[in-house]
Amino acid sequence: MKMAEDLELEFLPMEKPEFARNPLPYFAAAREKHPWLATCNFGYVVHQYDAMKDLLIQDDKMDTALDTIVMLMGAQDTPWGRLTANTINAQSGERHKQMRDLLMPLFSPRQANQNRLLMQEVITKLLDDSVPKGAFDFEEVVGYFPIGVLCSMLGAPAEELPRIRSSLEILGRGLSLDPGILSELQVGAQEIDRFGQELVAERRAGKRPEKGGELLDVLIEAADNGGLTERELYDLLIFLFVGGYDTSKNILTLIMYEMINYPEYYRRCAEDISFCEKVAEEALRYQSVANYPRITTEVVTYRDVIFPERTMLFFPVSMSGRDPSAFSDADTFDPERRHGNRHIAFGRGMHICLGQFIARAQIVEGLHLIAQRVKNPRLAGDVAWRPFLGIWGLEGLPIEFDPA
């Protein structure tokens, strides 16, 4: 047995821009030092696929560390700090179960399939508005797709999306552990909170969309019946808005970034939606976007390594699929790959991504229709990368293409 602090481990500068641009060499160096563990400025990094799978399900010994992140950011008793420390992902035990049980039927595989027509309508409208230009920032345009679907499910007016997009953008960076964005996080949290409260007030006053909106009805009914406090109602709305924006948008952007290099795969995506499913699953393995923090609530021993209570651990599932010990030819993008192991892009344990089935359906439906309308995409400028910690991905993807 060894204490984690006594091991010789590679240091990963995960908060640095150069790390976000290309994390792969850093993880390769970490594997040379230790098969599954490294360090960073905020704790330890579990970088092996099998170790992530094993440890992420130990919910009885770890919390999501969101209250610790608020403390590290110096954001206690602030709007963003309160929101982050009280989101559903920060809950555990019976209260967490009650809130997930309320939401699960609304995000089930069946519900995802029932919303496929809605997804097609939203992406078609975006493409109708954008494709004739022959060029656009793909990341910017596609950002309106998943949040447009969620707003339809909630019954929020589509014309309000530009108002809240900047708030969603900054809130998606909240786990990057960058105190320099704290003032923007406060503004974003307050703005999206106002938007949610206005939406609830209008629905209670009898204002309804022509169609959709059942998701908000369920949440309001739960609050009115005592299943949620009023504050929990608004916090859940913020959680849904932020979760429904960043992840699907970032993954779709990364898929387009890869498809530019694989025109044959992209052509097949336009012809065969079942092939889109293969591309989506391979993309989630190859380079996804989530990096999960955890903090131990008791002493944890794993593979003869001891972590004391209150040890911060990071699980970069975004890179878990590139582990050569878990995936053969891990650095090759191959939608026809025969999976021995399955990716863990949506996490594990009680906090596994609630919206994974909606996200999968959106990615597949969006990719299929985009590939039919955006022909022969070419990179039309430089790309930048979001911070690796938190929700990773491209920041902008300028493309040119042949409109169809």
- Per-residue pLDDT at 199: 94
In this structure, are residues 12 and 39 in contact, taking their beta carbons and an 8 Å threshold? yes
Looking at the structure of the chain, the number of domains it has is 1
Instruction: Please check whether residue 104 lies inside any domain of the structure.
Output: yes
Residue 287: CATH number of its domain: 1.10.630.10
Predicted structure pTM score: 0.94
Instruction: Please check whether residue 348 lies inside any domain of the structure.
Output: yes
- Per-residue pLDDT at 90: 86
DSSP reduced 3-state for 401: strand
Where in the sequence is the domain holding 169, given as residue range(s)?
Answer: 74-292+336-398
- Per-residue pLDDT at 25: 98
In this structure, are residues 241 and 166 in contact, taking their beta carbons and an 8 Å threshold? no
How many residues are there in the chain?
A: 404
- Per-residue pLDDT at 157: 85
Burial of 385 (0-12, 13-18, 19+ CB in 10 A): middle
Instruction: Please check whether residue 43 lies inside any domain of the structure.
Output: no
Instruction: Please check whether residue 366 lies inside any domain of the structure.
Output: yes
Instruction: Please check whether residue 5 lies inside any domain of the structure.
Output: no
CA 71 to each of CA 63, 66, 67, 115, 366: distance values in angstroms, whole numbers, following the listed order:
15, 9, 6, 39, 38
Instruction: Please check whether residue 69 lies inside any domain of the structure.
Output: no
Instruction: Please check whether residue 256 lies inside any domain of the structure.
Output: yes
- Per-residue pLDDT at 205: 94
User: What are the per-10-residue average pLDDT scores of the chain (404 residues)?
Assistant: 96 97 98 98 97 97 94 94 90 87 91 95 97 97 93 88 89 93 96 95 92 90 92 92 88 97 97 97 95 97 97 97 96 90 94 93 97 98 95 96 96
Instruction: Please check whether residue 39 lies inside any domain of the structure.
Output: no
Run of H or E including 151: helix 144-154
- Per-residue pLDDT at 162: 85
CA 7 to each of CA 298, 306, 313: distance values in angstroms, whole numbers, following the listed order:
20, 10, 15
